Amino acid sequence: TTTTRPPTTTTTTTTTTTTLPPTTTTTTTTIPPTTTTTTTTTVPPTTTTTAPSGVGVYVTALQPGGDIVDPLWEPSVQVRLGLTGAGSLGGIEVTGRWTGAVTSTVSRTTNPTGKATFSAPPISEDSLTFTVLTVTHADYAYRPELNAVSQITVTRADAD
């Protein structure tokens, strides 16, 4: 006897698993270079010192004067200082500049009442200008914005 069997079918299922690494995206933004313009302005020299005491010093008056040294005359200016608080007016250095017939920068130290006198060499011209440039002291800050005056023109008529 012959037995016939139906054919067998085998189904095989294959599963493939693929693991992908995480993805990182980097974005780079390039900023174009910028141009910086620097403007330099030259300002006449001034000195501002930060004072530990907080007391400021400033010019209260410029008094013109002079002496006749015939046929010339010798211009002078008395600088008077004030303080914004308590302190001594003596020993403060004042620097000023003569301009006109004479050009020179000079410094003097105030007396105990806060006065310093500046004299120019004898001149024949009728006037000379004096400008306070700086006021310096270890304990006081120069406060030029408080100055009552910082420049004066002295004339021969101001001389004694």
pLDDT band, very low/low/confident/very high, at 160 (cuts 50, 70, 90):
confident
Whether 81 is in a domain gets the answer yes
Q: Is the residue at 48 inside a domain?
A: no
The answer as to whether 11 is a domain residue is no
Residue 28 lies in a domain: no
Distance between CA atoms of 120 and 96, rounded to whole angstroms?
11
- pLDDT, one tens digit per residue, over 89-141 is 999 999 999 999 999 999 999 999 999 999 999 999 999 999 999 999 999 99
Name the least confident of 4-8, 84-88, 122-126. 4-8
**What does pLDDT average to over the chain?**
82
Indicate the helix (H) or strand (E) that contains 115: strand 115-119
- Is 97 within the bounds of a domain? yes
Residue 112 domain boundaries: 56-158
Give the number of residues written for the chain. Answer: 160
Residue 112: cis peptide before it, omega within 30 degrees of 0: no
Secondary structure (DSSP) of 43-83? ---------TT--EEEEEEEEEEEEEETTEEEEEEEEEEEE
What's the pLDDT tens digit per position in 56-66? 999 999 999 99
Residue with tokens 């011209």: 125
Residue in 126, 135, 132, 128 with CA at minimum distance from that of residue 151: 132
Q: Give the CA count within 13 Å in the CB-facing half-sphere of 34.
A: 3
For residue range 32-83, what is the model confidence (pLDDT) as tens digits? 555 555 444 454 555 554 444 699 999 999 999 999 999 999 999 999 999 9
Residue ranges of the alpha helices (H) in the chain?
none
Kindly state whether residue 99 falls inside one of the protein's structural domains.
yes
Q: Is residue 118 part of a domain?
A: yes
Alpha-carbon torsion (156, 66, 158, 57), positive or negative: positive
Per-residue pLDDT band at 19 (split at 50, 70, 90) = low
Spatial distance between the Cα atoms of 81 and 133, rounded to a whole number of angstroms: 13
**pLDDT at position 21 over 60:** no
Task: Specify the number of domains making up the chain.
Answer: 1
Residue 142 located in a structural domain:
yes
Domain CATH code at residue 62: 2.60.40
pLDDT for position 111 = 99
Are the CB atoms for 59 and 80 separated by under 8 Å? yes
Provide the pLDDT for residue 11: 42
